[in-house]
Structure 1
Amino acid sequence: MKFDSIFIFMSSLLGIFVGMVASLFLVILNIFINFIWVTVPGNLEWSYYPLIVGLIGGLLVGLFQKYLGDYPKTMHQTLQEFKDTGSVRYKKRVGKNILAAWIVLAFGASLGPEAALSSILGGLISWVGDKMKLTLKRREEFLNLGIGTMMATIFHAPLLGMGEALEKDAVTKQSAKKNWPKILLYGWTTLLGILGFTSINRLFPKEALFGLRFAKVNWQPEVLWLIVPALIIGVIFGILFLKLEEISEKIAKKITNKLIAAVLAGALIGVAGMISPYLLFSGEHQLLSFSGSAAKESVLFLVLLALGKSLLTNICFAFGWRGGKIFPAIFASVAIGFAIITIFNYTPGLIIGIVVAASVTIILNQPIVTGALLLFLFPLQFFPAIAVACYLSGKIRSKLAEIKMIV
């Protein structure tokens, strides 16, 4: 696939624009979170404060859903709308997506920003496409470039955009050699997106990065006995996450009143916040501190945290609190990995990496994207094993889909 110089130039501007929009969205979101969860409670020692916040959030989400519509739109809805209509509606919709996403994420939902950002960017990119009178094919490339760049910037994964392109080639059975211009363009756009994201971040106090803290890598031969069990446990946890998703959706369908559903989810968020702050939010900014203390926690606590995070994430989404599931899925998978190394503490980073790779591959059904996502989350020494775990888990998922054990 060839791209003319004008499209490459416009894609470059798109990359910078997407990075800046994503950064501004997250900066303002963090201001809201700090106000609701730090400034307002102040010195008040109210153990039930999270419950109050959750109920207020549920009321706001429910009213928004009832009177303004199902916002924010999810990534799947955005891509499906484009597939069906060749565009993503933006008139009277972008603002609703932004406001709804801020409400959902600021009031503690165990969800990430990627779903809302994809719908926001989809609308903005469609607006640009209308103004520039782009062809349908160019609009599609523009949308895919924008979402790939956004994902790479918020996950601090520079190769994620290229991973998305390679994943599409793998699904459509196209040769990557034929599409190398597209893959390079994804990489270039992502690089500029990270530049735009970083330029805005530098204007504001820095938040903790999406990352893990490990001691110096110490290779131990005993770890060889744990590699296969770690892969199996990761696969099982990924399946369990998807089963909780199915159960949550079935329960949600029985609650026809959107306001009641949203308030119930808000109450659950509040109760979860009273149990552990790690159950709230996407887990992006909590992962670094969690990895520094998780090894000191009991196996039971870590397993319950992983299950609680997975359940809360899926209930939030099913009950009208729309958002992304990738950040929470990674956090929950990391907790399961730490549960294993609490018992068998041999080369911890490798075992956790394999568990997370297997679990997230099962959940996303995208082994290449998962590998690109985890490349810089774990020490580079572990990446060959993580890549193999992603590949094997992808094959396992395909087999499970064939026998109808998984969708």
Structure 2
Amino acid sequence: MQFVDKARIVIKAGNGGDGHASFHREKYVQQGGPDGGDGGRGGDLVFLADPHMSTLLDFKFQRFYRAENGGAGGAALCTGKNGKPLTIRVPVGTIVRDFESGAILADMSEGNKERVILHGGRGGKGNARFATATHQAPRFAQPGIKTAEYEVELELKSIADVGLVGLPSVGKSTILSVLTAAKPKIAAYHFTTLSPNLGVASRHNRSFVLADIPGLIEGAAEGAGLGHDFLRHIERTRMLVHVVDISGSEMRDPVEDYQKINDELTKFSPVLGEIPQLVAANKTDLPEAEENLARFKEAYPDVEVFPVSAATVQGFEALLDRVVQVLDTLPPVLRYEETDLVESVGYEPGFKIKRGDDGVFDVSGGDIDKLLDSTNPDDEISMRRFQQLLVKNGIISALREMGAKDGDSIRLGEWEFDFVD
């Protein structure tokens, strides 16, 4: 299966259903009262962390996700059907961001976690709701609230306690297969691993998750190879086991290799450079390993080095013991603070007024959109209520303060009318 760890999609909650305008009709009842029902609520849009998913591949083939709209109200006070919520399944570890602002909307770091990203629009009120002592036969109903589309970015960051890092072909995948039940692809060529492999290791009745991060190369922090794609999977690991080929079998110097990878981690993010590390000096069964190991310890006297051999399965007990000890001192896996989508895109209650170059006063704001959505321009009483709300919300007085005079054009959304003081 192709591994995809980034995707961009468009999401939308369901519109609220329109309210209904009708009057009771029954034999021998000449003037039945209003009996229009309310519209149903639109469906919510929900994200679910699915433990059985491992890639964002599905989102390459489907980009638009819309929850069901609420049903319209009916006669005899019948309420419209609520729209069904739409649940979008993503792999555990997925971050959901608002594409425009970059705000994190959901951190799906726990299996089966649900997060409502968008709430469905409220259903409009039927005309029965507007009956009063002075208006006993309202002929208008309220439209349902229409919801907006949002573009969001999905980014999969592997969730693991320990990340195995190092240059290509140092034996990370083999070590993962030795320490866990994972079966990563292993071959004698570079970049055999093209996506993170996860496995669970156990030691002294303690279990922890290891991630085999694909091989990094010099320049990874600038995007060389698949640097950015690989490095972001390290960001949420609690500690690193830095694997080096201590034998130098790939005609590389393990002392230089160790420094190269640490330089790339720090360049990509200072946080990565501060993650605790242990060094697994692999391939100690090969010639020149002993000499290189002594040279490595001399070059890095403060680094904890554990000689191991994935080929002969030797040296891992001491490494695992130390991993467990270090994990006991570290905080849990990083979790991101979630932001409500409406806040992240700059929603502000109230309204804003701006006079354009054409002299038209533009009135905008979240409350204005809701007011327009709930008004029927074809009904006199509905429009009268609209005008009363403009006065009540201070919009008319604000227009006066900005110099609006009789006959000036006022624009609210797609509506435009003349100002009358």
TM-score of the superposition, structure 2-length normalised?
Answer: 0.20
Structure holding more strand per residue: 2
Structure holding more helix per residue: 1
- Max Rg structure: 2
TM-score of the superposition, structure 1-length normalised?
Answer: 0.21
